[in-house]
Structure 1
Amino acid sequence: MASESKKPRGEWEDKIDELRQQQKLIREPNLSDPGYIRQKQNNKLWVRERIDALLDKGSFVEVASIAGGPVYDEKTGELKSFVPANAVTGSGKIRGRKVCVNADDFSVRGGHADGGIGMKAVYGEMLARKYRVPLIRLLDGSSGGGSVALYLSMGAIYIPALGGTGQSMDTMAVVPVASALLGPVVGLAAAKTVLSHFSVMVKGLSQLFAAGPPVVKQATFEDLTKEQLGGVDVHAVNGTVDNVATSEQDAFEQIKTFLSYLPSSIFELPPIVSSSDPADRCEDFLASIIPKRRARPYDVRSLIRLVVDVADPSKVAGGEDNTTFWEMGATWGKSIVTGFARLSGYPVGVLSSDCYQGGGAVDALGSQKTTRFVNLCDHFGIPILNLVDQPGFAIGSIAERAATIRHGGAAMAALYNALIPMYTVIIRRAFGVAGGAFANPEEQGYRVAWPSGDWGSLPLEGGIEAAYKRQLDATNSPEERDKLYQQLLGQFDVVRDPLRTAHKFGVEEIIDPRETRPRACAWAAEMYERILPQLLTVRTTKYGIDLKPSSGRAYKL
């Protein structure tokens, strides 16, 4: 039998071999490289290990795979080594959906601009926008930001440019952007963090700062470690980042979960999944979850989990491990609770307050959190389940110094101006300006209340102190004062009954709390079938395919 003839080599086979050789050098770790060694000593994944852990197996398609600096033997001209660009860029899939990825390679000059090709990461931002798919940034280092060492190689200093942040803002206007902080994130990378729709730090691994400890020490004489300057304990509580992860893999999983609720771009509806959780499921516990004693707190997260879809209907509803509710921003602005969930498989944003945190009164950070979340849902067409128990804006000297009312005004504007539909359920309090903003977020909204509703310009307990101050102060003893106070309070017991408000059509409907899920599920289905397609048309008309500055594409941070 004649031996099988070898496949003939093409005329360009030598260049193809050279390409593959260079790609092999770049894609396989150099175990003796100091940057790679440092990465492993710090218990960090290498950049390509991160991409493999993030994306569906075998789905990554790289762009600019040989951007960098080849080193050739001077005598033979053979390729000796290759210093790659400090960023890996390309596209891949997450749970079957296409995404774009920009991943910093800290092992190459700490990710500074003098370690690679400046436009590579910028191109990745543009690619996501052109493809209309989510962008994921794996930040580690300066993400292509400046280094003084670059001055010497250039032979001159330079006026700093936006460094691609303009592209970042353009991209935010069109597709979801998520950033994982996987090491020290400084300068340009810090800017990219906040120019994201979702960001997550890894505890013990990542820090964030505008400038690192050496620069800070020179400028402010503060001698701080990276953790003291910008660790999780700093930025997870001030709202700079949204969430905290326990590991790099946990950070990737959180990004996957975040993206699972969002559309690939503003030109699509959020992804709907099938749900086996009955839409007519009623939970008896909802009828008693709000205490009759008004000052007593309750667990609002348990309440949310009883209303939204469960992951496995065969299990008891409401458990943390059996719910579609995924919280975003749990470590900051704690008076407000935000996150995503599903109702009959339809993605919804969830907005509420936590009465364990300052009674639920919305403070400065809670206001910022509300603004950010409502703008996010409004921009990507995600309807909001709005569960209201709002005693009002935080008050007192600390609240005033924090400019609570200024930040509260921004939250009010976000709620009022949002085009996205909201299903508002007043579960307990709605007092004052903040109560009005949360309980009346839109002119033609969908609103119901529970029999536990309690509302007004002021809470009665404090309002009586203000309205009857002269009579109360005229009493002869604390005991007599308290007795008069209780008498005055008792006079209001009848009129504060929420059914009285319904008699005057001051609230559209009061429902049995057990009906909340069936009603919310019916609302979600109607919104996705009738209202959201119309809003999608509005967004498409506004943004179109013209991404030039004249398109009015700005995203509200």
Structure 2
Amino acid sequence: MSWQKELDELERRKQLAQKMGGPEKVERHRAKGRLPVRERIDRLVDEGSFQEVGALSGNGEYDEHGHLVDFTPSNFLTGRARIDGRPVVLAADDFTVRGGANDGAVGDKLMASERMALDLKLPLIRMVDGTGGGGSVKNIENQGYALLPKLRMWPAMTQNLATVPVVSLALGSVAGLGAARVATSHYSIMIKNTSQLFIAGPPVVARIGQVLDKNELGGSGIHARNGVVDDEAASEEQAFARARCFLSYLPRSVDELPPRAEPIAPKSDDYDWLRSAVPAESRRVYKMRPIIECLVDEGSFMEIGSKWGRSLIVGLARINGWPVVLFASDPYHYGGAWDKQASEKFVRMLDLAETFHLPVVNLVDVPGFQIGLNAEQEGAMRYGVRALTAVAQTTVPWCTFIIRKAFGVAAGGHQSDGRFNFRYAWPSARWGSLPIEGGLEVAYKREIEEADDPDAKRAEIEERVQSLTSPFRSAEAFVVEDIIDPAQTRFLLEEFIDVVIPLRKTGARSFGYRP
């Protein structure tokens, strides 16, 4: 007996699935500057590595004899593939079929993709282009009833955040559940001008009197700056490259340790310029990113969230090939003071370090929490306290370098006092409950007001008190463990890595990742 008839039918169905929404809809999709879903997958993963799951799911049309006449594939593709030789799970929307809305077996396939990543402990990459399974209004008429939102996949999505790396790419107009899936990830990207993200799109929002186009309402220019997504890419190709780069720093799950890459020396072995990197005048700003690039393996710093929470620079980097999470103050924004966004950004990145066993490097220049009416109205203290609590909960190794300012409660979170951490200060470092300049008017108010020359008296007091703030005076009292020559910073980072790498432990943490 031959099964050739069935094999021919199988091949026919596979070919029909490859057509996606049909030539006309695929070309219309391309005309908007967006790649078809199968081409996206091919460009993201290692060549020929995609093993699709559920390729035959969709809606078939049959004649009166039960023969297949036409086939509309499910608009949700999932399966396994490899990126740089390492296995991953893919979950990808096909906008050319019903605009990515709920169709065919998409709901079950979405659940299958989340469970596949969770149970196989593989990184998950979501390529979101539509509502991503939330359904459409047209479905109400087709089904004869409205669905009650239940979010069946949310427990698995939450477990995935605590178990495997999750990357989401918003590649078109994503709304509702699709938008939520993008935000529920460790790393998310939008494409400038071609992707948008909404709670509800322009037609719905117009009903409340706000007439906006898609980019005005939910373009990457909005969400890469408010923290809903981490990054904005210029093209889909650039987004794929950043997704691959992000995953290269992380283990496949919490039950493994982050892999070491080939060690690459910093771009220069001349560190003497660090001795003058920080201006002697405390009010003058300086650029932190060149300091970062000088200290890490050349080309290894991947900044994340550069357009939001801008007083804090965060990202992934390598020291002698070993991946770390890096925090650094940016004095160009609020002088490095933490606002609501900076605190949120800090917690998000610290959770990533804690979840996936990444040591932390922290370059500190923090004058405190942002002050003023706007900070109070935003509730900066509430978000700041959440960040400080996250620090106290961490168990991964920390290495802190106090570059310049460390004042107030915000600076107190430069590492956890509940255990031993590596800590060094540059000679440019100054610290205290608040900057001397800001506290004199309160502490010496009467003495200054009663002086014959208040300005001269203020200057006299400031000079006297400033002489006591030298880090060397603090070092005598063991307030700080070591003051170092800035040129030795890279050497000490290498020593930190050598000591702590063997101490890393696998396994899930006592609390889950918070998106």
Structure 2 counterpart of 1:143, from 103, 127, 132: 132
Structure 1 residue 261 corresponds to structure 2 residue 237? no
In structure 2, C-alpha distance between the alignment counterparts of 1:280 and 1:224, rounded to whole Å: 49
In structure 1, C-alpha distance between the alignment counterparts of 2:323 and 2:187, rounded to whole Å: 17
In structure 1, C-alpha distance between the alignment counterparts of 2:11 and 2:184, rounded to whole Å: 36
Q: What is the Cα deviation at residue 278 of structure 1? A: 7.4
Aligned residue for 1:23?
14
Structure 1 residue 521 corresponds to structure 2 residue 510? no
Aligned residue for 2:338?
362
Identical residues among aligned pairs (%): 41
Deviation track 1:336-384 (CA, whole Å, cap 9, x = no partner) reads 1100100000000001110000111011100110111111111111111
Aligned residue for 1:446?
422
In structure 2, C-alpha distance between the alignment counterparts of 1:163 and 1:49, rounded to whole Å: 29
In structure 2, C-alpha distance between the alignment counterparts of 1:120 and 1:203, rounded to whole Å: 29
Aligned residue for 2:307?
331
In structure 1, C-alpha distance between the alignment counterparts of 2:388 and 2:397, rounded to whole Å: 16
Alignment of 1:51-130 (within 5 A): 51-74=41-64, 78-114=67-103, 116-130=105-119
Deviation track 1:160-194 (CA, whole Å, cap 9, x = no partner) reads 11142222112111100000110001000111111
Q: 2:398 touches 2:415 (CA, 8 Å); kept in 1?
A: no
Residue type of the alignment partner of 2:148: I
Aligned residue for 2:219?
231
Q: 1:68 touches 1:85 (CA, 8 Å); kept in 2?
A: yes
Residue type of the alignment partner of 2:374: I
Q: What is the Cα deviation at residue 118 of structure 1? A: 1.4
Aligned residue for 1:156?
145
In structure 1, C-alpha distance between the alignment counterparts of 2:115 and 2:215, rounded to whole Å: 33
Q: 2:164 touches 2:253 (CA, 8 Å); kept in 1?
A: yes
For the residue of structure 1 that corresponds to 2:374, the secondary structure is helix
Structure 1 window deviating more from structure 2 (342-351 vs 486-495): it is 486-495
For the residue of structure 1 that corresponds to 2:81, the secondary structure is strand
Structure 2 counterpart of 1:427, from 399, 403, 424: 403
Structure 2 counterpart of 1:47, from 37, 40, 62: 37
Q: What is the Cα deviation at residue 473 of structure 1? A: 3.3
Q: What is the Cα deviation at residue 147 of structure 1? A: 1.4
Structure 1 residue 171 corresponds to structure 2 residue 147? no
Unaligned runs of 5+ in 1: 1-9, 311-322, 543-551
Q: 2:327 touches 2:362 (CA, 8 Å); kept in 1?
A: yes
Q: What is the Cα deviation at residue 140 of structure 1? A: 0.4
Residue type of the alignment partner of 1:487: E
Structure 1 counterpart of 2:360, from 366, 374, 384: 384
Residue type of the alignment partner of 2:464: Q
Structure 1 residue 294 corresponds to structure 2 residue 282? yes
In structure 2, C-alpha distance between the alignment counterparts of 1:520 and 1:307, rounded to whole Å: 8
1:257–1:32 distance in 2 versus 1, CA, 3 Å:
closer
Q: 1:281 touches 1:517 (CA, 8 Å); kept in 2?
A: no
Residue type of the alignment partner of 2:513: Y
Q: What is the Cα deviation at residue 475 of structure 1? A: 5.1
Deviation track 1:41-91 (CA, whole Å, cap 9, x = no partner) reads 21110000100010011110000011001223446x553332010111011
For the residue of structure 1 that corresponds to 2:129, the secondary structure is strand
For the residue of structure 1 that corresponds to 2:226, the secondary structure is coil
Structure 1 residue 554 corresponds to structure 2 residue 512? yes
Deviation track 1:473-506 (CA, whole Å, cap 9, x = no partner) reads 3456xxx333222111110232111111111111
In structure 1, C-alpha distance between the alignment counterparts of 2:338 and 2:407, rounded to whole Å: 11
For the residue of structure 2 that corresponds to 1:237, the secondary structure is helix
Deviation track 1:255-297 (CA, whole Å, cap 9, x = no partner) reads 1111111111000000101214279945111111111111111
Q: 1:165 touches 1:192 (CA, 8 Å); kept in 2?
A: no
1:374–1:451 distance in 2 versus 1, CA, 3 Å:
same
In structure 1, C-alpha distance between the alignment counterparts of 2:73 and 2:244, rounded to whole Å: 28
Q: What is the Cα deviation at residue 11 of structure 1? A: 2.5
Structure 1 counterpart of 2:5, from 10, 14, 28: 14
Residue type of the alignment partner of 1:502: A
For the residue of structure 2 that corresponds to 1:341, the secondary structure is strand
For the residue of structure 1 that corresponds to 2:396, the secondary structure is coil
Q: 2:268 touches 2:294 (CA, 8 Å); kept in 1?
A: no
For the residue of structure 2 that corresponds to 1:113, the secondary structure is coil
In structure 2, C-alpha distance between the alignment counterparts of 1:28 and 1:184, rounded to whole Å: 22
Residue type of the alignment partner of 1:244: E
Q: What is the Cα deviation at residue 298 of structure 1? A: 0.9
1:441–1:151 distance in 2 versus 1, CA, 3 Å:
farther
Aligned residue for 2:449?
473
Aligned length: 515
Q: 2:21 touches 2:97 (CA, 8 Å); kept in 1?
A: no
Q: TM-score, normalised by structure 2?
A: 0.96
In structure 2, C-alpha distance between the alignment counterparts of 1:203 and 1:274, rounded to whole Å: 32
Unaligned runs of 5+ in 2: none
Aligned residue for 2:206?
217
For the residue of structure 1 that corresponds to 2:338, the secondary structure is coil
1:127–1:439 distance in 2 versus 1, CA, 3 Å:
closer
In structure 1, C-alpha distance between the alignment counterparts of 2:372 and 2:184, rounded to whole Å: 33
1:245–1:148 distance in 2 versus 1, CA, 3 Å:
same
1:30–1:194 distance in 2 versus 1, CA, 3 Å:
closer
1:22–1:289 distance in 2 versus 1, CA, 3 Å:
same
Aligned residue for 2:440?
464
Alignment of 1:392-403 (within 5 A): 392-403=368-379
In structure 2, C-alpha distance between the alignment counterparts of 1:18 and 1:441, rounded to whole Å: 67
Q: 1:279 touches 1:344 (CA, 8 Å); kept in 2?
A: no
Q: 1:278 touches 1:344 (CA, 8 Å); kept in 2?
A: no
In structure 1, C-alpha distance between the alignment counterparts of 2:145 and 2:128, rounded to whole Å: 28
Residue type of the alignment partner of 1:556: R
Structure 1 window deviating more from structure 2 (109-118 vs 242-251): it is 109-118
Structure 2 counterpart of 1:285, from 250, 268, 273: 273
Residue type of the alignment partner of 1:63: V
**What do you get for the CA RMSD once the two structures are aligned?**
1.8
Aligned residue for 2:462?
489
Q: 1:143 touches 1:189 (CA, 8 Å); kept in 2?
A: yes
Residue type of the alignment partner of 1:499: F
For the residue of structure 1 that corresponds to 2:478, the secondary structure is coil
1:173–1:376 distance in 2 versus 1, CA, 3 Å:
same
For the residue of structure 1 that corresponds to 2:412, the secondary structure is helix
Residue type of the alignment partner of 1:52: D
For the residue of structure 2 that corresponds to 1:200, the secondary structure is strand
